[in-house]
Amino acid sequence: MARNVRDVLDQEYLVARAKILELAAILDRLDRANGEAAEDPRYGLLRQGMELLQQKEDGRAERVQLLFSRPYQATWRDEFGV
């Protein structure tokens, strides 16, 4: 059975708020840093991740995880010496 929205917010609000504040602080530090963040592909991934968070459909966590994941390679054991 699905949980009540109020119960979820009661449990998750402060954690989500803290994470949003942390992300805002990181973005502020990037803005103040020397150089251009847009030149780094990691910055583009962060922006794409934030865009995914704004989508209303289910599965946001999966889509964000896939955004930051490497594509599967059958030879990964050899590549990493496992």
Cβ contact 37:30 at 8 Å: yes
Q: Give 63-73 pLDDT, tens digit per residue.
A: 999 999 988 89
68 in Cβ contact with 45 (< 8 Å): yes
pTM listed for this prediction: 0.78
pLDDT at 26: 96
pLDDT digits (tens, 9 = 90+) for 1-13: 889 999 999 999 9
